[in-house]
Structure 1
Amino acid sequence: MRFFKALVAAGLATLGLCPLRASAHPHVWIAARAQILFAPDGKIAAIRHTWTFDEMYSAFATQGLGKDGKPPTKEELAPLAKTNVESLAEFQYFTLAKTGPKTYEFGEPKDYELEADDKKIVTLSFTLPLKEPVSAKKPFTFLVYDPTYFVDIELEKVNPVSLKGAPAGCSMTTLRPDPLTSGDSAKLSESFFSGLPIGADFGIKMATRTIVACP
């Protein structure tokens, strides 16, 4: 998170804009996919995230990398991938997992990598293991969001979440957030122009919920 903010602040300064406002409104956009990974015993063991960043973030992240105009390699981006996942630790990797009111903790991410496509758009992929595998016999819910709403994370429209190794009969539902109320829209606009934080609850209001249930 600190890395995201530092990078965007540098970009805003380059454009002659006030970095203070970066704290009050989304300035990094992510198109996300997720894969729920099941253990052999049928419990949910991890979530595999795939996050594609916006053009502005990608441009600054890849600045000075690559040769002869080509996108940087995974090896060149490896230190940046490490910095990304480490900076997300204090925010629980923008991931909330729960069963009813009970929430679950995650272990350290693994198998992380950052890759740039031909247009130098970067995608971060990493596996986020649960500290303890979780049964999905009771509905398991997870959300991906930034509580500060500095980063706007939106699940892809088509096939945003998939299951891997799930027992037969498991089902999955993706519930997208309701449209903003007039009050929330006014709050968002006010925070942008005032430079004041929008509130820790706003990010979750904008988050898509995925519910997994198994027999």
Structure 2
Amino acid sequence: MTMHLTRHLPAATALVALLAATPVLAHPHVFAEARLEIDTSADGRVTEFRNVWRFDEVFSSSVILDFDENANMVLEPAELAKIGDMVTQSLAEFDYYTTITVNGADREIVLPEAIKVDYQDGQLLMFFAVLPKTELQLDGRIAVGVFDPTMYAALDFINDEDMMVTGGGATQCTRQVVRPDPDEVIAQNQASLTEAFFETTTSNDLSKLLATRLELDCQ
């Protein structure tokens, strides 16, 4: 993410790093509990992918200090909207951290409106929906992952129920939440995991392999 901010550098830097192409780091620095709902229609189509991210309290506190322009320790609607606009513009480069494949082939998405931001109980929330760019039928194997390709932020789906299928077509597919084992992933890809692989920002292969995903098998 590219943001022209000079106030309260530490928090601004953290938000920039969260949403920017940064070198792959050894471990995440920002943590968020995530939820994904795949909404469907009765005629067997995916209508939208709904996301909610609740960030950790340490990161959230730094954001309120940085973006609280009137210093009243409250993120007011205009301040929240400013954050939302910045995030919306920046995450477009990363497809809003959302990866969708159908039978192994990537599918494109679009964002119909700005990402919304709120601050509740000491935590920053972001919520938004993305749509399939072209019609997406509930057919074959559909896999959906939500992850930061730079590995700076960890989006954690704590419970399997945090990745759900809703709507009229919800019963047309079987659902499985896949949580890859890091040791197995590294062992299976040892030949390609060179030092250059970890240092580059142009490859998100490892983060994609490690990401929790929801797989749908549709008939």
TM bin, normalised by shorter chain, reads: 0.7 to 0.9
- CA displacement 1:49-86 (0-9 Å, x = unmatched): 10111223212221252889664244430110121121
Verify the 8 A CA contact 2:50 2:130 in the aligned structure 1.
yes
Output the CA distance in 1 between the equivalents of 2:35 and 2:13. 31
Please give the residue correspondences for 1:1-215 in structure 2 after superposition, counting only pairs within 5 Å: 1-2=1-2, 10-11=10-11, 23-25=23-25, 26-63=28-65, 64-65=67-68, 71-110=74-113, 112-119=115-122, 121-157=123-159, 159-167=161-169, 168-180=171-183, 196-197=199-200, 200-215=204-219
- Which residue identity lines up with residue 131 of structure 2 in the other structure? P
Change (3 A) 1:9 1:72: closer
Q: CA deviation at 1:9?
A: 7.3
Q: CA deviation at 1:27?
A: 2.0
Change (3 A) 1:75 1:162: farther
Moved more, 83-92 or 171-180: 171-180
TM-score normalised by structure 2 residue count: 0.74
Verify the 8 A CA contact 1:53 1:123 in the aligned structure 2.
yes
Output the CA distance in 1 between the equivalents of 2:180 and 2:44. 29
Change (3 A) 1:61 1:138: same
Verify the 8 A CA contact 1:8 1:57 in the aligned structure 2.
no
Output the CA distance in 1 between the equivalents of 2:180 and 2:8. 26
TM-score normalised by structure 1 residue count: 0.76
Change (3 A) 1:175 1:130: same
- CA displacement 1:8-45 (0-9 Å, x = unmatched): 9734989xxxxxxx734222222210010124532112
Output the CA distance in 2 between the equivalents of 1:92 and 1:183. 25
Structure 2 unaligned regions, length at least 5: 15-21, 191-197
RMSD: 3.4
- Which residue identity lines up with residue 142 of structure 2 in the other structure? F
Corresponding residue SS for 2:80: helix
What fraction of aligned residue pairs are identical, expressed as a percent? 23
Verify the 8 A CA contact 1:73 1:116 in the aligned structure 2.
no
Change (3 A) 1:214 1:111: farther
- Which residue identity lines up with residue 120 of structure 2 in the other structure? D
- CA displacement 1:65-114 (0-9 Å, x = unmatched): 28896642444301101211211001111111011221111112426311
